[in-house]
Amino acid sequence: MTTKPPPSVKPSTDAHLEKIAYASVENIPTVEPHDRDRLAYNVWRFLQFRRDPLEIAVRSAGARLLISEQEVIQKITQRLQQSGVQL
């Protein structure tokens, strides 16, 4: 019996919302990496649907942050603007 090699994975471009969202939180200090992942997911939802403000997305992530929530919002906003996202 033979096995086939796995299909190749095509990396996404830098313009995809997922990549932008995860890049916007990569330097946010959290207790665990999973906290940062939850935060990135909520930022992605904010970018995708634009129903609630960014402040609510950060708060609803429930991430255990090592800096203040206002600093986190400021850093994410700055990084999103650098990526070309209109807020």
List, for residues 31-60, the tens digit of each pLDDT value. Answer: 999 999 999 999 999 999 998 999 999 999
Of the candidates 71, 48, 86, which has an alpha carbon nearest to the alpha carbon of residue 58?
Answer: 71
pTM: 0.83
Count CB-CB contacts under 10 A for residue 86: 5
End-to-end Cα, the chain, rounded Å = 55
Q: Is residue 34 a part of any domain in this protein? A: yes
Structural domains of the chain, count: 1
Q: Is residue 45 a part of any domain in this protein? A: yes
- Report pLDDT for 87: 81
Full domain range(s) for residue 24:
17-82
How far is residue 65 CA from its own chain's centroid? Answer: 14
86 vs 38, higher pLDDT: 38
Q: Is residue 6 a part of any domain in this protein? A: no
- Report pLDDT for 1: 60
Look up tokens 């919302």; give the residue.
17
Residues whose CB is less than 8 angstroms from the CB of residue 52 and which lie 6 or more positions away in sequence, other chains included: 46, 60
